[in-house]
Amino acid sequence: MEGSPANAAENIDGTVPVELIDFVVITGFSGAGKSTAIGEFEDEGYFCVDNLPPEMIGSLANLFSLEGSKVERAAVVCDVRGRELFSGLAKVIDDLKAAGMPLRMLFLEADQQTLVTRYKETRRRHPLAVSGSVAEGVVAEAGLLPPLRERADIVVDTGGLTAASLRRRIGEELIGVNSGRMAVTFESFGFKHGPPRDADLLFDVRFLPNPHYDPDLRPLTGRDQRVVDFIDSEGDLAEFFGVLHPFLDYLLPRYLAEGKNHMVVAVGCTGGRHRSVATVESLVKRYTGTEGLLVDANHRDADRQA
C-alpha cells in the first residue's frame, strides 16, 4: 500500500494495517455546496457519510482508528439538519483535535441572496424555515454558525463558484489532486443482457457486420484481429470511426473543462463479444495518453457464452 513501510507488520488476513491520516468534517450554510463538496471527496476515494449527527462523529473517527480498519481517509457532512444535536459539533471538533485526531474542518458559506436563489431554483425547503421563508431560515442558521466558522481550517465562499469550480478547488486545495483530469471508461456490452445504467454516452454498433454468424469467429472476441478484420471488411468500421472520433474529440475536452471527474462511454452490440469490444479496444488505444484523460476499458459481457 502506498505510504506503508515495506516491512510493515501484516494482519492475520495478510493485509497491511492502515492508519487514518485524514478526517474531514464539512459544515456551513445550507445551500452553500456541501453535497458538491462531499461528492468530490467520495470521487477521490474518501469514505463519506452525509448528515451525520455530531455525537456520532467521534465514534466514527475512533472506529476508523482501531486496528484492522481499512479506512485511511474519511469525510463527513454535519449541519443544521441535525436540529438540536447540531449545537454539539463545536465541542466534538475541540475534543477530537485535542485527542490528536488528524481532523480538518471545511466551512462553506455564501451570501444570503445566493443561498435564497439556490433554494428557489431547487424548490427545496430550508431546514430552519419554520414559516416556509428561505430567507428566515438563512438568518436563523447564520446565528448558529459563527463558533464553527472560527474553528474551521478552510473557509470557502461559494457565492461566485459553479459546482464544477468548487469541486476543482476542493480537489486542488484540500485533497491535493490534479482535478484537471477526467477518468474515461470505455465500456462494451451486449444489448441482450441489458444496457449499462451508468453510461454518460451510449453508442449502438449493431449496424456493423456481425462475426457471430461465422463459426470460426464466434468463439473469439473483438480483441482478436481476425474479428476486427471481418467487421471492417467493407470499410464500415473505419467509416464509423471517421464520424465517431471527431465527435469525441469535440466532446471529451468540454466535459473535462466542465469539471466532470468520471465519464462512461458505452458501446453496445447484440451479445457484447465482438463488435462492441473491437470498437472499445480501438477507442482506448486512440485516447490513452491524451492530456487530461485517464483511460481504461471494461468489457462487461465479453466473457459470456456466445
Find the distance separating the first CA and the last CA of the chain, reported in whole Å: 39
Of 80, 161, 76, 78, give the one whose Cα is nearest residue 125: 80
The rounded distance, in Å, linking the Cα atoms of 115 and 163 is 14
Return left, alpha or beta for 140; rule: phi > 0 is left, psi -120 to 50 is alpha, else beta. alpha
Residue 16 pLDDT class (50, 70, 90 cuts): very low
Question: Higher confidence at residue 171 or residue 203?
Answer: 203
Q: Check pLDDT > 80 for residue 281.
A: yes
124 Cβ contact list (under 8 Å, min separation 6) = none
Q: What pLDDT score does 262 carry?
A: 79
Residue range 22-175 forms a domain whose CATH class is alpha beta
Question: Three-class SS of residue 202?
Answer: strand
Sheet holding 103-109, edge to edge: 47-49, 73-77, 22-28, 103-109, 154-157
Residue 294 pLDDT class (50, 70, 90 cuts): confident
pLDDT tens-digit map of 175-213: 875 556 788 889 999 999 999 888 999 999 999 999 999
> Which grid coordinates belong to 261?
471527474
Q: Which of 28-42, 86-100, 124-138, 240-254 has the highest mean pLDDT?
A: 240-254
Q: What pLDDT score does 276 carry?
A: 97
Domain-wise residue ranges, the chain: 22-175, 182-299
Q: What pLDDT score does 8 carry?
A: 35
Please state the rounded mean pLDDT for residues 295-299: 89
Q: Check pLDDT > 50 for residue 12.
A: no
Q: What is the chain's length?
A: 306
The rounded distance, in Å, linking the Cα atoms of 141 and 28 is 9
pLDDT tens-digit map of 84-101: 667 788 988 999 889 888
Q: Check pLDDT > 70 for residue 5.
A: no
* Sequence-distant contacts of 209-215: CB under 8 A, at least 24 apart: 209/233, 209/234, 209/236, 209/275, 210/269, 210/270, 210/274, 210/275, 211/274, 211/275, 212/270, 212/271, 212/273, 212/274, 212/306
What b-and-e string marks burial along 283-303, b requiring 16 or more CB atoms within 10 Å of the CB? bbebbeeeeebebebebbbbe
Are 33 and 155 in contact by the 8 Å Cβ rule? The answer is: no
Residue 173 has phi, psi (to 5 degrees) of: -95, -30
Q: Where are the alpha helices (DSSP H) in the chain?
A: 34-43, 54-65, 89-98, 112-122, 134-142, 146-151, 163-170, 225-231, 236-258, 275-287
- Lowest average pLDDT, out of 23-27, 132-136, 264-268, 283-287, goes to 132-136
Q: What pLDDT score does 1 carry?
A: 31
> Which grid coordinates belong to 172?
486542488
Question: Three-class SS of residue 237?
Answer: helix
| pTM, 2 dp | 0.56
Q: What pLDDT score does 15 carry?
A: 40
The rounded distance, in Å, linking the Cα atoms of 104 and 164 is 22
